[in-house]
Structure formats: C-alpha cells, structure tokens
Structure 1
Amino acid sequence: MLLSMLVVGWLTWRHALLNESEIFQRQLEVRAQVLTQRVDRFRTLPEVLSLDTELRQALQRPLTAKDVDYLNRKLERANGATRSSTLTLINKQGIAIAASNWHAPQSNVGENYSYRPYVQQALANGSGRFYGIGTTTAVPGYFLSQAIYDDTGNAIGLIAIKIALQELERQWPNAADIVFVSDNYGVIFLTSREPWRYRLLRPLTHAAQIQLAATRQYQDEQLTPLHLRLRKQLDNGSRLVDVQDPDLPRHMLLQSVGLLHGQWQMHLLHDTSTSATTSWWAAGAAGGLWLAGGLLVLFVRQRQRITRLRLRSRQELETVLQQHAQELRTAQDGIVQAAQQADTGLSRSLEHLPQGVVIIDANLNLVAWNSRYLALFRYPPEMVRVGQPIEDLLRFNAKRGLLGTAPMEEAIQRRLGHLRSGKPHLHESEKGDGTVLEIRGNPLPDGGFVTSYADITSYKNAARELRSLADALERRVEERTHDLTQAKREAEEANRYKTRFVNAAVHDLLQPLNAARMFTSLLPSHVHDDAGRHVADSIDAALASQDAILNSLLDIARMESGQLEVHVRDFALDSLLHVVHNNFGMLAESEGLKLRTRSSHLIVRSDEALLRRILQNFVSNAIRYTRQGRILIGCRRAGNHVRIEVHDQGPGIPESLQREIFEEFRRLDEGHADDRGTGLGLAIVERLGKLLGHEIGLRSTLGKGSVFWVQVPLGNAQTLQPAVRPSTVTHSQNDAPLQGGVAWYIDDDPQTCAATRALLERWGCEVPYAGGPHDALVIANAHDVPQLVLLDVHLGKNLYGPDIYAQLCEQWGQMPPVILVTAERDASLRRQAAERGWGFLAKPVRPPALRALMSQTLLRIRED
C-alpha cells in the first residue's frame, strides 16, 4: 500500500507539473509576444526619420540656436504622435544636437553618448538596440537607433528613440506568480516583483563587468545575486527551482522563453503547491483503494462458505431463468394470438390503451386493432377485417390526402418498404383537420409490425402557446432592458452635468473672491486704528471661510467625477504625524488646548497627501469642538493594518447623529461661536476613505469626548525611497527680490488685475501692464520685456493662457519665466506647468504665497 501511494503520488505530481508548465509556457509566450510587438511597433519611426531631409541637412552644417529650437520642436511633435519616451538626433561624434525633451530640466541636448552601444552599432552597422538607464534622465528604457547617411553613403549621424517599458509591469500578475525579463548578462531589469529589479541570475564575468561599466548600462545600481537553485529539469524544458525568499514558496516552477533574437529572456516563476496537493490527494486515494481491496478480499473469503451451500440450487435457478426468458420472448406474440382468436379482429387486450393500435403480420396483412384506431382514421366498416392488406388502408388514406404532398404511389411504396425492413420508427404527422399524431412503430420477433397512433394535438397547442408566451416575455425583457439602459444613461448625463455645473460655478466664484483677497491684503497698510484692523481681519477670515467652502465643493465634485488622482506608495507614518502636529500645534495652543502626538516607526501604504487631508480634518474638528482639555493623535496596530486615531475631550456625539455627521452640510451646534465649520469636512473624509479603500470610523461618549479613526494597510520598508530634502534659498532680511522687479499680469477680470497691480506695486515691483490678452499682444515688443509674467489659464472667448504666452514670446524674442494664476484645479495642468518649469498658484491666491513664489523665481533669474 505504501509503495503504491508513493508511486501514484510521484506520477500524479509529475503529470500535474507537466500540465501546469505547458499552460504557463503558453501564457509566457503570449506575454513575450506582447513585449516584442511593443518594441517592434517603434522600429519604423527611426527608420522613417533617418530619411528626413531636414535632419540630414542639420548633420552636415553648423546650427544656429534657432535651428536647434526648430529641430527640438520637430522631434517633440514626432515623439508626441507616437507616445514614445524620447527622440534624440545625434551627430557622428556622439553629441546629441536635438531632442524631444529639450524643455525638460534634464534634457538630452548637448550630451555625449558616443560610449553607448546603440550609437556605436548604428554608425558601424546602420542600426542598433540597447537597454539601459538614461545617464541624463536616470529613467530606464530601450533604445532603437538608425544611422543617417549622406549622398555618398557615409554615416553622418543617427536618430535614436527611447521606449519606456515599465508600464508593462503593471499588466503582469501581482501574486505568487512572478514575471521578469533578464538580459544576456543575466541582469533582471523588468519584473512584477519590485525588490528583484537589478538582481543577477548568475555571477558576472570580469569581461561583463568591464562592459557594463564602459556603457554605464545600469548606472550606479547595485547588482546583487538572486538566489535560485536548480532542483530538477523536466522533460519539456521547465525547471524546478528553490527560491530563497521569505515571502515566496520555497519550491517553484521556472519557465523561460527567448526575446528579440535571443538578446533577452522572459521568465515565469509559478507556485507548485497545487501540484503537490494533487499528488497528496492521489496518494491518499491509492491508499484508500488498497484498504478497500483488502476489505473486499476478506468479505469474499467469508462469503465463500455460503456460496458452496448455494451451488446445488444454481441449476434450479438457471432453469427458472430460462423459462422466464421464454415467457418474455412470447409475450408480444400473445397480442397477435388474442387478435386471431377474435372473429372481427378487435382485441379486448388493446381496448384499454388511449392510443390507436394496429398489428400486421409478416405478409403485411391486418391481424388486430382497437376502436381508437378506427376512430382516428374513420375507415368504412367493410374495409377493416382480419387478413386485409395494409396497402389497401394506405391507398385509402392517400386518396384523402393523409400521406402528404408526395405522389401517391411513391408515398405508399415508401411506407410498405419501411414495414418490410422491420426497423422501428417514431415521427409526427398532422392531419387536415389540425389533429397531430405521434406515430410509433416496432417490429415483432417473428415478423410483422405493431404501430401506435397517439393524439398529441393538445400538447402541441400548449407548446405553441408556451413559445408565444416566451417570445412575448423576451420582448418585454428587451423593452425593460432598453428602458433601464436609457434611464442609466440619463442618470450618468445628469451626474456629469452636475459636476460640470459645480466646477463652472466654483470657477466663476473664485474670480471675484481672488480679487477680494488681493484688496483685503492691502487694507492693513491703509487702516491705522484697532477697530479698522479688526474689521480687516474679520473680512479676511470671512473670505478664508468662503475659500474653504468653495475648495471643499470643488474637491467633492472632483471625487464624484473621478478626476482626483491617487498616488499610492509606501512611506513613514511618523513624518506625516509630525507635519500634522506642526500644522495645528499653535492653533490648539491659541484655543487653550494641548495637542499631543505619539510617534510611530511603522511604514504604511497610502496616498500621503490625501491621508494627511483626512487627519487634518479630524484634528481641525477636534480643536473646533473641544472647549478645554487635550487632543491626542496616536496609532494602534491591528494585524496587517494600523489604525490612526484622534482623541478629543469635547462634548461627544449622540449615537443618532454619528452617521449623519458624515453627510454634506451636517454639523453640530457645540462648536466655538466664531468657528462652526462648513459641514463639508467629514463628507470629504468619507469620500477620501472610499477612494483610498481605507475604513473610516467613530466612537463617542456624551460628555467625555470622541475618537475619529482611519485604518491604513502596512507597507514594506524595503521599498521605501529615501526622502529628498528640498533646496532652500537663504538671503538676508535686507535683500528684497521684488524691489525693482518688472512683472506683467494678464487676466480677463479687471478687478483682479487692479487688485494684483496695487499689491505688487506695494511690494516695490513695477507692473507696466495688468489687463486682458488682446491689449497685451498689441503693446508687446522686443524693447520692453518683463522679468516675470503672471498669467491666467482661461482668458475668455476660448483663449488659452499658454497659447497667448507663446505669441508674446515671439514678439518679445525671449521666454521670461511664467507663474500660472488660475482657478483651475486640474492635476494635469499642474503637472504640465511643472514639466515646463513654470510656477503654479490656485485662486484665490494667498498674498504671502504669491510673494514667496515671485521672490524665489526672481532670485533664481538673478543667480542664473
């Protein structure tokens, strides 16, 4: 039994492994084909650009700054059309003279790439391929290059395209199965498991180390070994390996396939626990069969004694069986015999049957029938008698049209031939009066035929009614489905209209609010008594509250429309708690409260900005509703999650209101008289929790306080990236960057222009122009170029701020720095401004933020 269990388990395990390896080999080939197609899709672009006359001429003559700018924009347009990463034009010396990322801080223009293999391959062989980390951008990608030749056939340069392949990793499985790609050195550079990036499948030779250092393929990345040990080679080429990783199964199945003519290899690691479980079950089943067989042998041996006693009666039993078989063979003949004994052919033994029955002998003559048969076909009395040929009855039926539309003789002979063949049959026939008959025929053992006719008209009518009812129901279902689809479409359209309305309304409200904020910032310089300053502070506080309400409404609209971007990553929780404490420490102290924060060493996985927004709402509400005592921010670990809690000693929340306070514009009356809140903070918290997948909760006791909490999953400390401290610009108190600065302000709102000009002039900045886009285009000239441009994005009448800026730069002949001042909160617009090196401020603008950003920009200009 043990031996059979071992053999069956081993064979099952081997068979299961082979099946799994074939399945995952096909999956791996599909993924390899996708990667190959992605690379080959971009192959034609450098080949086409290498034939471009302008690029060829640019490599054969000295270039001016205007020529370089034209080439940069040409490559940028080509790169944008193909959605590749970067296009670069390189001369014969390996110097990049133009690139599509010319406007980026880390542009390729002017860099020397002569050491790169794709440059050397293209100049030597006409084309090249190479994967590596960009020395300029530090972004990995796959480089395809094509040589550019002069009229004599000599290579004068090349065009290179860099393809970003990292987005393929998001399509790969994020589970126990791992997909990764290695180069010909055995270095893993694409993987669904981030800690494995830049790991080695085999040790590097000395020559490989020299080659990698010369080409700077992986820059300063530390290439560490990935410990995989081969256990067994399967017949189909798959391998069983041992993986030394605490987060993965120890034994896994490794599949590999070649890519790009053998330059790369794609691998798939699959968990073999399913095959092991199958083999254990098979071994258990084999053991069970052995046990069952042993019990069966014991049972048989016990029954042998009883069997010997029954041997004498076996002959008698066989005799009885033979007699019974004989009776069965002659059972059908009893019907014929009963009919033959009757004088008229009517058989009493057939009268109880609801079907019409007729029996004929081997000579196709009538033997017996019942009255139901006569009633169905209404034969004349003298025609139906014992010995009457069945052919006469068929001919009589044919004359009445009961045998179908075929010629009469052909229909009769076909039925007679079927009766002579002795084959059973079953079919339906409809008579002229609408009666439907089910005709079933069976041959007799000694020749002859028995045919029964069952009236199934009612059954057929019911079936037709059911089909009609089903068709009607199906039409009604289609109509209801169409109505539901239409209603859903109308609801979605109404939701989109509501979102657009909220965005437009907030945008229009922010314009005059921005002007009001600018004017109120000027009040302190014109008011010199305490009462006036108190009024100015009250106005500023009221505008700040209105700003908070509009921003909250805009955030809710962005979340409902799905426009709020989420960037989930692993980060240290303690730094976030430190920021929240610093933001609210002085506010709590001014209200006579103590704010305490417990530090934490945990790593969490979330969107840091959105999670900070949730905690800031919790702490702000705690300060607003706590009259005295303290507020505590702490963490509790719960399995694979951490619960961040904010405790207060406020009045508490009744259980009946604990659900309602998370709705829009729901607030309690226990807050400070001058700060009751907008009723939107907790509504935003609940939506942010759903957006991030974090559970939001509350527990409260009347008279003792409340605890608001959010539960966040723990992160991986190994993937944590070191924080980069922002550079700071220090200058003396006497250094005033805005003094003597020249700035233009372009906006379609006259009040905002007037307020901003007054504010900037108060800071010592010259504002030669503050108005709309049309007048700015009229007065712009090369002799009066501002040092800085403050620009709105939407300038009315379908005018777009960046387009107006491009036209002004053509008239100025220069590109002064830009700060976008807009009511748009679109994340893509903010990202676009950052890519171009522009500043960005959202309306309504806080004057301190505007002054700091302008000062920093002007200082950077003077340092350059």
Structure 2
Amino acid sequence: MIETLIDPADGPERRAEKLLTIATALMRRMERVTDDSGAAYAQFQRAALLEEQVRDRTRDLERALSLLNASNARLAEAKAEAETARQNLANAIETIQEGFALFDREDRLVMCNSRFGMHMLDLRGKLTPGLPFADYVERVSRSAFLALPETETPEAWVVRRMQRHQDRHVIFNVRMIRDHWVQVSEHRTADGGTVILQTDVTDIIRAERHERGKLLDDQARVIRATLDHINQGVAIFDRGGRLIGWNQRLSDLLSLPAGRLRMGASFDQLLNRIRAALAFGAGMTEARLMDWVAAGGRQGALSFSVRQGGGPILDVFAQAMPDGGFVMSFTDVTAEREALEALSRAKETLEARVTERTLELQDALAHAERANASRSRFVAAASHDLLQPLSAAKLFLSAIEPAGLADPARVALEKAQNALISVEGILDALLDISKLESGKAAVSVGPVRLGRLLAQLHEEFAPMAAAKGLRLRVLPCGAVVESDPVYLRRILQNLIGNAIRYTDAGRVLVGARRQGAQVVVEVRDTGPGIPAEAQDDIFKEFHRLNARASASEGMGLGLAIVQRACVLLDHPLGLTSHLGRGTTFRVHLPLAGPLAAELPPAPRTAPPEHAPGFESRIVFLVENDADLRRAMGLTLERWGLGVLEAASGEEAFALIEEIGILPDLFLVDQQLGQGMDGLAFLTALHTRHGALPARLITADRAPELAGAARAAGIGLIQKPIDADSLRKALAAL
C-alpha cells in the first residue's frame, strides 16, 4: 500500500514528507483505538513494528534515489558527449573541400556541409535535414545553374539520375553553367544510407581538354608532314564535299596554283578549275564521279585514271571515310604507262630477240660440252644473271592484256611467251645437269608411294596427250619403293614427256610390275622407235633423234637428266626399241614394302586461283635489278596490290622506319649486291618486328640455302618467275 502512495517521479524530500505524514496518521489512529481486553498494547507493538518497516523502506527508497541520480548524471554526460561528437562530425565535414551530404536508409537528408550544392546558389537554404532524396534531385534538375544537354529535359535528367541512385557505387560528372564541372560520387553505407561527395573538377577537365587539343595539334602536324612527304597528291573532303586538307604534291600534279586550293572549297569548284583540260580514262565519266561524290562514297571505293591535256597520266583512288567524308589520292603513273606502251611497240621484235638470246645460250652450252668442269661452273655462276632478265621478260609479258591487242600482236605475244617457257625449261634442265655432274645434288631417299606419284603424273600429262590425239594410260600400282621423291618424279616426267613428244599416233602406256625384290616401271609408246646405233647417243646432252622437234619441244636434255639421276640414285635404266613399233624405257626401283592392295588415290588439291583480298594488301619488293623490280611491280599493281620498292635491305629498313608502317608481306631477292643478302634481311626483319609473311626469291638451288630458309621459316620462290608462280606464292601467303 505504501508503494502505491509513493510516486517514483517525486524527489527525495517529497518522499520523506509523505512517509512522515503516513507515520503520524498511523500513530494517531493507534492512540484513538482502545481495547478493553488489552488489545491496545498489541496495537502499539504493531505500530512500532510498522514504523520499523517504514524506516527500512525509507532507506531503500533513499538508496534507489541515489542510484537514479547517478544514472541521470551519466545520461547527461552521454548526451553531452553525443552532442560533442555530432558537433565534431559537423566541424569535420565542414573542413573538407568537397560537398558532403548524408541520407539515411529512408532516403532523407541527415546532414550536409556548406559546400554541398556549392555551384547551385538557388539551392542554398533548401537543403535542410529531413529533405527526401527525390525532392533533392527534383530541385537540382530545376536549378538555373545546371547545364543540361540540348536534347535532354529536366524530367529525363531526373529519371536518369534516379536510375543511377539504385547502384551501390556510382561516379559521374555534371556540367554547370560557365563551363564548370562537378564530379558526383555516391556510395551506400552499411546501414543502407547514402553518402554523396561533390568535387569541383573544372580545372582537371579544362587541363585534359587543353592536353587533348595539344595532342590533336601534334597529330595534325604529323599528318601534314606525312602528306607533304608522300609521292601522291592527296585531297581530303568532309561529308559536305568541302576541301579540308591537301598537300603540295596535289597542286603540282593538277597544275593548280597554291592559292586556288583553299579551305572549304567545294569539290565542284575544284573540278571546275581543271575541267577544261581534264580527260577521263576508259570506264569513267564526270557524271559518274559527281554521282559518287553526291552519295558520300557509300557506293564503295572508286579507281580511275585522268590526264590533263598532254600532261602526266594520273591514277586516282577515292574512298569514303568513317565520318562521311572522302579522300582522293592522285599518283603519277606516266612512266609506267610509257613503259607499257614501249613494251607493246616492241612485242613484234621480241621473238627475234629471244631467239637470238637462245642461240647465244646454245653456243655457250656447246662450249661447256667441250669443257665439262668449266661448263658446270659457268652454268652455276650464270644462272642468276640469266634468270633475272627471263623473269622480268615473263612478268612484263604477263602484264599485257591480250584482250585489247590486234590478232597479229596477240599471236606474237603468245609466241614470245612460248619462247620464254622454252628457255625456262632449258635453264631448269641445265641446272639439273650441272648439279648432277658436279656431285652437289642432295638426295633424300625414303619410302615413296609409286601409285600416288603415277596418278599425279597422269593428271599432269593427260592434257598434253589429248592435244596430240594420243591415249595416255597409267596402270594402278600399290607398291612402295625406296627413292628420292623429287628426282624420281623428274625421271618419270622426262620419260613420259619424251614418249608423248615423239609419238604421233597411238598410245603411251605407263605401268609397274614386280621383279624379285624390285619394281620395274615401264614407259611404252607407239612412236617411230630408236635405231640400235643411236640408242647410246640419245642420252647425250642436246641430242635429239632425227632433230625433228623444234626448240619449243626441248633441246635434248631430258634423257641426259634421266640417265644421270638414275646413276645418282642407283636405279638401273633399260631401253628396248623396235623401228616403226615403239620404244620402252624401264627404271628398276628397290622395293620398300610388300605389294599391297591398291591404295586410295591421294586427295586432289585444286590449284589456287586468283587469291582473294589482293586489293587490300601492301607488298614490299626488295630487288636490286631495276628491270625485274619494275616488271614485278607492274604485275603486282595490276592485281590490285600496293607496292613498296627498295633496291637493298638497308634501303628497305630505312623506308620502313620513315613511313612507320609494316607491309602485309615481303618479296625479297637473295642476291642484293653489296651489303646484306635477302636471307639476312628477312632474319633481321623477323628479329625486329616478329614473324611476317615473306618469300625469298632466288636462282640458287643449293640445298644449303633451302635448309637455311626452311630453318628460318621462310619459303622460296625459284627463278625464273612467271605470273602464275608469283600468284600462287601470294595466294599461299
């Protein structure tokens, strides 16, 4: 009951006063009560006991009051410390240079410093605690100090800003008026709140812009220096067809005073200044060119030629740029065109010149026959010099388009090509004989699948036999023999080729049969036969039976090569012939494995046609012979390739360093005169720039050079070079 009368909220004095009042009331009550049976004394005892209990309870209350006072004191101290900490936090965030704001997990502003929103003066006084984040974003979007993009509305900006707010961490830049920039960094706190930092990055962005401008200026100077140093005239137009860049070479080629080329001049204005003296090449008209320009180059690259009166002939190449503009380059090809015209004028006398050169070669070979050792050294030393002009002549002829020639000229061109093919075959045979007689021929004997080799030879000679009306039959064979595959193929090539060449009617049969531990390959024909007294002479160089075949059909070297190769490989060679009934040649080959069932034919690989993508490639041609370099360059350019030329390895490296561009592939002659040779140049090139597509051009058939090139990962192109072999080499690369 006493507990209910005492209010815990009362102070100690009030509690003591209440207790005294209660005790006094109880004492008065006890004095008034009388009990005749002696109960008064008991009442007194109970009152005394009650007073003792009251005193105990009073002491308990006093102790509780003391504890309460201590708790209140500690609470007051905690509140003071919290207020101090809050003030310290406010002072701390006020000292940082960035704008700072803290939103709670309900996205309401808890506190911010005076720099928060410092670039938006119209927000001062509106950023108060309790402000919702969405209202804050809305007010920012309406600020007069926010510079929105022209295509963006405040509402769209709010949507994009709220989307970014969904991420835990986000950093972005906001543009203000007067070219000021603020970087906003927003991060989530552990309790789900949000901290926002605003940093003025105006100086940084302006510095970056300045550096970017300097970089663009430097790039512009580099581009200008490059344009001024290249041999082509270059004109650059924007998407509106206005001139925005050119080099001095352009005004030289178009015979335009420098003052006529001005920034912003339209393409039509430029064309008007040269229209009177301009003559377009075949396939191009002014209307077509203007249509291409009007289309902004979307019709693909454009290539044509023009000529100003009697001035130079210019090759023009126009191509669109990614920004909608286009660039046009002008290249002076007068010298090349004049060379082609000179070659066209000389085609009628070319056959006589080749014949004269062939006679000179025959005289040299006759002299070499009288002195065998001298002949071998001469052929080895002269091979490169002979193959150089032969390669150049073949490439020059291949650069001539037969479609535009008159019939007599086309016939003369075909005869010249056939004569060069004949000379090439003679040189190959001479080189083979030179190697075989000098003992320098390297053989690699191993298992050879005879059936596959015979099938390949059948495909090779079938057209030749069909052209003469002969039946060429090659019997299947499953034998595996021990021989050198290269020389065995050359032996059988010469035997089959001779059989077809000297057989006018009937057939040529090629087959193999087992004879003990050997396989005998026979080549039978139904030709005129060989007299017994002439059967030894046919294996001599330059000996042709009855001398009835023309020089284009061979110079009598095939059987000489067959005999020497068979001796080198230890393959016995036999001959049986009957006049008027035909001839049979036999080659005895050691058997490498048992005769098995007919092996499946080897997969046929179609010869490479025109390799795709030529027109986007750049070839670096390193050749010290000017005529051969010019011939190969014309051929490559006719196929649509870009060509860079150098006469030596040192000049090639200097040109690469000057232009700063690595071509797509390299064609390098082995003999470059003084200084490094071709293999040394390609090795140094791979060391500097890594493995690059390359081919080494050489007339040297020494196995040492082939092995060194193979070890370096470099393929070979043997001279003499013709258009087909060059195209196949490029296609392989």
Between Structure 1 and Structure 2, whose CA radius of gyration is higher? 2
The TM-score bracket by the shorter chain reads 0.3 to 0.5
TM-score (norm 2): 0.46
